[in-house]
Amino acid sequence: MTRRQTVDEADLTRRLDAMSLKEKVTLLTGGDAWTLTPVVAAGLASLALSDGPAGPRGTAFGDAVTPSLLFPSPTSLSAAWDEETAYEAGRLMGLKARQMGIHVLLTPTVNLHRSPLGGRHFESYSEDPLLTARTAVGFVKGVQSTGVAATVKHFVGNDSETERTTYDARIDEKTLRETYLPPFEAAVKEAGAWMVMAAYNAVNGTTMTENEKLLNGLLKEEWGFDGVVVSDWQATGSTEASALAGLDLVMPGPDGPWGTALLAAVEDGRVTEAVIDDKVRRVLRLAARVGALDGVDAPEAAPVPGDVRSRIRELAVRGSVLLRNDGLLPLRPDALRKVALIGPNAVRFAAQGGGSAHVIPERVVTPLEGLRRALGDGVEITVHQGAFPHARLLPLEGGTATDPVTGEPGVRLEYRSADGTVLSEEHKAPAANWFPLLLADEVAELFVRTRLMLRESGVHRLSVVGPGHITLHVPGHAPQTLEQLQEDDDIVSLALRPPAHTFTFPAGRGETEILVRFRPQRHLPYPITLLGLGYDTPRGTDEEELDAAVAAAAAADTVILMVGSDADTETESVDRATLALRGRQNELVERVCAANPRTAVVVNAGAPFLLPWADRPAALLWSWFPGQEGGDAIADVLTGAEPGGRLPTTFPAAEADVPVLSTRPVDGTLEYSEADLIGYRAYAARDTTPLFPFGHGLSYTTWDYQDFVVTGDMERGLSIRVTLRNTGTRAGREVVQAYLDPAGDEPHRLIGFAAVEAAASEAVIATITVPARALTVWSAAGPVPRSGPHRLRVGRSAADLRLAAAVPRAS
């Protein structure tokens, strides 16, 4: 099903010949943040790039954003352990991108879960190179089947975020080849990815945008990559070094280290025109593949299917992992009368993580909506938050804030000069988080006015996001002032983690017009600033809210308790400081479970957290960040849809057990001294028991592993046929996993897996094909077969292996 579109290279040559050197060089830096400059002489339209791990984000910001589709987090996708599911997700994303006019999706992220603290953990697939590679292959093929390019990122060693733009990952050749490169290699060689993104960090002393050995040498020459190597945004710091190393495209633009400097380098012979031509040819080839060359037929594109939302919902069900179940699940709606829906994530549901993967969907189905639909009108549902772990308030909403001049939802912004003159003013609709503002030099202050509808009396909370000096005026109260500054020079850090402060003011119900005076911090190294307002209704003290949640739990016949994280906790550009759930969530779980033994806990998070209470609830379901249809998907699983997911990463019992925890470089260096001992392999090597092992996940039915047959050998590859029977009373899905026990004391490693479905009592055969390459070790001479004898084990997780056999010797 891969799209192997043949590109007419002679036609590309003609187009290349029609371009001037200046046009060529101009093409190789973005025309702006997301698009390339069109070239009329070459019949080349403007190529549009967009982020994508959780859905096509589009190329607009602020008011101009058109809503997109929000998919489950990549961790949820890899939890399906299924290439076809990944293909389906990629295809749907590609179709949506196509509809939005996007040619290139900046996804998938195939860096590994080296440390569970990694900020982009939710955005990458797994701790295991094989599971990551198989998911990436399915996904890339799916995206590209729609005529949209996938971008495999971040090449390579960007497995954490602390000092990400500068750190040097020291990874020995064997570890690179066996652990960190295979997902990239499979996505390039097997799935034929059309773009690869060079990471911010350095590997073994050379920053990735200048890494000749890995870009030209490995990626292009050894793997035969014929697509475009794009820099991560603002990652390129040199002209010649990056141009000669194999980087093809500098993003974003229009400024940057190439442009006129690269033109000069070509003119005085430091970079040959042939080097430039190769890059331009690659961009033209990409354009031919995605239908951006005039006279070349655009690939066929089906419309986004009408049932796309139910397909996204099914993807979220497929990724959901049932970690424990004492028999409470699935719930039987006809046996329920009163359900307590409790927890911070029940009220502020986290459909997605943060950072460049963030997507604005048309709507998000909340858990309350999903449960109401699934349980029907006969069941009363009470809702209590119980704990307030959020670092940031929710943005102002339309129903809460109105522009006092126009009466429309949102705020009034006045731009004022130093002497108070109003230079201009405008209406702003409520923004997702904040408004990006490009301020003229003479603007010294902004007045933000809005009419707030206060629905309850008590202490109201209002937060102001953005670097500057702030004064809040609320009628009847003395003004409150504060100065909050952006401390570093990184625009990404401003966009992802701007300074914010929460003011409080007591007030009764009714309307009140507030004014926020904002003197933006100037002299930042970029022209943009941002400003946002957040609001939260009055509530009781933490104690009162906890007590109320516990009382509701005690009064209900069943409790659904949702804890977890959010897009502030799990986000690009910052690693987590701890694996603990924020705030008083652990206490909430303990107390609610004590109040009602019929409690199902749903954890709504993209990456592992510590669950010191994991054996307390009657059932424990991991929903990940399940995307826009998440509320329905969670309700589906709670009421009987087969939870298809298996953990793509190990869940630790304690921080001290985590094989690689720290993501903090030492003097700029991140030593990968653990080599390939990350994740389940490291737990096995140290004989440490995790809370839940890699590969774990329950089905609503039970499985008996009966027998398996292995054919082939280590040099030719293996075919493993496992017979298993569904011994329960309902149909189910099982992910059969095969691990190799190499000779010597090396821990086991996943070498293949297959998902099967079977009706109640039905026996089924899972066939796992293991290519010879997956059985090799890296040596100075390249991949060589492992020397034996070897044992093969199959089962349900890295720690629940039910059958074993010797691997046949080569004949």
Token code pair at residue 729: 């009373």
> x/- string (CB under 6 A) for ligand BGC, residues 32-71?
-------------------x--------------------
Judged by beta carbon, residue 26 or residue 50, the one nearer ligand BGC is 50
Q: Which parts of 657-748 are beta strand (E)?
A: 669-671, 703-713, 717-726, 732-741
CB 799, CB 693: distance < 8 Å = yes
β-strands 599-604, 480-484 pairing: unpaired
Q: Give the H/E segment covering residue 9.
A: helix 9-17
Spatial contact of 589 and 386, defined as CB atoms under 8 Å apart: no
Is 128 one of the annotated active-site residues of the chain?
no
402 binds ligand BGC (CB under 6 A): no
111 belongs to the binding site for ligand BGC (CB under 6 A): no
Give yes or no for residue 770 binding ligand BGC (CB under 6 A): no
> Closest separation between CB of residue 659 and ligand BGC, Å?
25
**How distant is the alpha carbon of residue 605 from its chain centre?**
11
Token pair for residue 238?
């040199």
Q: Tell me how far, at minimum, the Cβ of 497 lies from ligand BGC, in Å.
A: 13
* Binding positions for ligand BGC, 432-491, rule CB under 6 A: none
In whole angstroms, what is the distance from residue 37 CA to residue 412 CA? Answer: 35
Nearer to ligand BGC, 227 or 652 (CB): 227
Residue 155 within binding range of ligand BGC, rule CB under 6 A: no
Q: Counting contacts by CB under 6 A, is residue 589 touching ligand BGC?
A: no
Compare residues 51 and 248 and give the one whose CB is closer to ligand BGC.
51
Restricting to residues 791-810, which ones interact with ligand BGC according to CB under 6 A? none
Tell me if 751 contacts ligand BGC by CB under 6 A: no
According to the 3-state scheme, what is the secondary structure of 27-57?
HCECCCCCECCCEHHHCECCCEEEECECECC
Nearest to ligand BGC of 252, 785 (CB atom): 252
> CB of 153: closest distance to ligand BGC in angstroms?
6
> Which residue, chain included where needed, has tokens 């031509």?
277
Question: How far apart are alpha carbons 74 and 84 in whole angstroms?
Answer: 14
Q: Please, which residue, 144 or 604, has the CB nearer to ligand BGC?
A: 144
Within 180-209, the residues that bind ligand BGC by CB under 6 A are none
CA distance 566 to 391: 9
- Nearer of residues 119 and 645 to ligand BGC, judged by Cβ: 119
The minimum distance between CB 352 and ligand BGC, in angstroms, equals 15
Min dist CB 157 to ligand BGC, Å, is 13
Q: Which is nearer to ligand BGC, 132 or 356 (CB)?
A: 356
Runs of H (alpha helix) within 650-705: 679-686
* Residue located via tokens 């609320």: 474
Instruction: Compute the radius of gyration of the chain from its Cα atoms.
Output: 27
Q: What are the angstrom distances between the C-alpha of 486 and each of 26, 174, 354, 441, 493?
A: 33, 41, 19, 19, 9
Q: What number of chain residues touch ligand BGC (CB under 6 A)?
A: 7
Is 453 exposed, middle or buried, given 0-12, 13-18 or 19+ CB atoms closer than 10 A?
middle
What b-and-e string marks burial along 104-118, b requiring 16 or more CB atoms within 10 Å of the CB? bbbbbbbbbbbbbbb
Pick the closer one to ligand BGC by CB: 283 or 347: 283
Q: Nearest approach, Cβ of 262 to ligand BGC (angstroms)? A: 22
Min separation Cβ 242 and ligand BGC, Å: 17
Catalytic residue among 82, 128, 159, 232: 232
State the minimum distance, in angstroms, from the CB of residue 229 to ligand BGC: 14
Q: What is d(CA 123, CA 527) in angstroms, rounded to the nearest whole number?
A: 29
Shortest CB 197 distance to ligand BGC, Å:
7
What Cα–Cα distance (Å) separates residue 499 from each residue in 521, 530, 531?
A: 11, 10, 10
Q: Mask: binding to ligand BGC, 658-697, rule CB under 6 A, as x and -?
A: ----------------------------------------
Q: Which is nearer to ligand BGC, 36 or 336 (CB)?
A: 36
Residue number, 50 or 325, with CB nearest to ligand BGC: 50
Check residue 121 for interaction with ligand BGC (CB under 6 A). Answer: no
Per-residue HEC secondary structure of 150-164 comes to: EEEEEECCCCCCCCC
161 binds ligand BGC (CB under 6 A): no
CA distance readout (Å), 810 to 228, 243, 746, 772: 41, 47, 21, 12
Question: Pick from 562, 574, 541: which is nearest to 605 by CA?
Answer: 562
Chosen residue from 106, 187, 262, 347 binding ligand BGC by CB under 6 A: 106
- Minimal CA–CA distance to 669: which of 121, 162, 120, 110? 162
Spatial separation of the C-alpha atoms in residues 714 and 806, rounded to whole Å? 11
Q: Is 229 in the site for ligand BGC (CB under 6 A)?
A: no
The contact mask relative to ligand BGC for 315-354 (x = CB under 6 A, - = no) is ----------------------------------------
CB of 254 to ligand BGC, least distance (A): 16
Largest CA distance in the chain: 89
Contact set for ligand BGC, span 487-516 (CB under 6 A) = 492
If the CB atoms of residues 30 and 138 are measured against ligand BGC, the closer one turns out to be 30
Q: Is 233 in the site for ligand BGC (CB under 6 A)?
A: yes
Closest-CA residue to 44 (of 58, 33, 63, 28)? 28
Question: What element of type H or E holds 534?
Answer: strand 528-536
* Axis-axis angle for helices 308-319, 630-638 (nearest 10): 50
- Give the separation between CA 666 and CA 641, rounded to whole angstroms: 47
Q: How far is the CB of 122 from ligand BGC (least distance, A)?
A: 13
**One of 153, 358, 392, 428 touching ligand BGC (CB under 6 A):** 153
Is residue 148 at the binding interface for ligand BGC, with CB under 6 A as the rule? no
The answer to whether residues 284 and 42 touch, using CB atoms and an 8 Å cutoff, is yes
Q: Any contact of residue 356 with ligand BGC (CB under 6 A)?
A: yes
Cβ proximity to ligand BGC: between 356 and 402 the closer is 356
Closest approach, Cβ 154 to ligand BGC, in A, equals 6
The residue whose Cβ lies closest to ligand BGC is: 356
Any idea what the Cα angle at residue 367 is, between residues 365 and 368, rounded to 5°? 100
Binds ligand BGC by CB under 6 A, chosen from 232, 403, 636, 676: 232
Q: Which residues bind ligand BGC (CB under 6 A)?
A: 51, 106, 153, 232-233, 356, 492
Q: Indicate which residues carry an active-site annotation.
A: 232
